[in-house]
Structure 1
């Protein structure tokens, strides 16, 4: 009887699965039209290029090289760097309702059934009544309490 779980088969199979996943992930992420930015490394993204100190200077250099909106990726999480007031006004003031939300918390929200916890809820229709419920549960503050 052949042993299909021997070390060479396991290593080869793992490499094939990892390579297929990496190729699929890189092609599936290209379907979105993302702003330009420095080329990311596999797995860690732009972690090596991301500034640890003097961030405004590095972001300004990226703005001169790539434009007003720069996209970097760190461990699969996308980060937008806005380098001009015009880009900030266009994205955050005029179209802010598109971008104002909390990140999706799969582990706490969906797997543990905590999607109704106020701090994990996405902003929208169910969120607003919950904030009113929270405010009504708090006792009113007097001016003398703040002093």
Structure 2
């Protein structure tokens, strides 16, 4: 996808979905996350906790050394991309979204409306119910944030 975007829309920034990155990390590095390991915490710190390119280079070297994972090909290829670390994405306009989870959630909810046996009126009835649930959930989230802000 990244190659196609660079070719078709070279001005567009393509970042990696952090949720997918974590899922792949667990798949490729699950052995490092057993027992009392702090690997996941250290890896997340590289993703979210460092906003300077020099500091992330240093933190990455420490991470590889601490867990003796210099030769891990998945980590090497992941790090070579770097469009998942805060310091490489901070100039990109993302509206604060770092994950495709929201769009995947909406897609999942809309699939409920996409049954082949529904006529157009039934489709819109189901679609309106999905929208109403989303609005209600968003309103509740906004109210909780406002309350937390006041407190």
The bucket for the TM-score relative to the shorter chain is under 0.3
Higher relative contact order (CA 8 A, sep 6+): 2
TM-score, length-scaled by structure 1:
0.21
In terms of Rg, which structure is larger? Answer: 1
